[in-house]
Amino acid sequence: YPSVMLQYILVDTCGWLKFGETTPTSLAFKQWVKNYVLLNLYGFSFNGDDLWSHRCGLLHMFSSDSRDFASGKARGIALSFESKGLPGLIKLLEEKDSERRTVAMDAEKFTNAVVAASTTFLLELSSSIAIDKDIQERMKKLEQFILLH
């Protein structure tokens, strides 16, 4: 779980860099996921709402449950840490979850998608940083945070 949690933190950071402080974290996260991550994930049935819900559950409660899952706004995500185990997890979910409230996610493929997405984003960012004063300010804040910690 820690590796997936770090991926969610990376998405949060990239979303903040892209959309700034005035955009709520949930919206920045979901938009960044839509614009970058989901383009690199094929064959998965989850969306930005599901990932946000999973992120909140893991980061705030160290659980895959969250308020959005409990209220039905998002589906749960069950993680597979071995690609060969994913078909078995999908079958188990199909047997146990007739309402399809939980979907399976291959943690390694998710990590690869986030890495590819952040690489694409950072290349875009590097070309716009010279002209975008807001991005420059956010990069300075991020640099100061890293240097202080």
pLDDT tens, position by position, 46-65: 899 999 999 999 999 888 78
- 3-class DSSP state for residue 51? helix
d(CA 109, CA 70): 26
Q: What pLDDT score does 130 carry?
A: 67
Q: Which residues contact 53 (CB under 8 A, 6 or more apart)?
A: 66, 67, 68, 69, 73, 74, 75, 76, 77
Question: pLDDT at position 101, please?
Answer: 83
- CA-based nearest residue to 110, from 53, 41, 51, 30: 41
Residue 5 identity (one-letter amino acid): M
Name the one residue in this structure whose structure tokens are 């690199």. Answer: 40
> What's the predicted TM-score (pTM) here?
0.84
Residue 29: predicted pLDDT: 96
Report mean pLDDT in 10-residue bins for the chain, 149 residues. 91 93 93 90 83 94 85 90 80 82 88 92 81 83 83
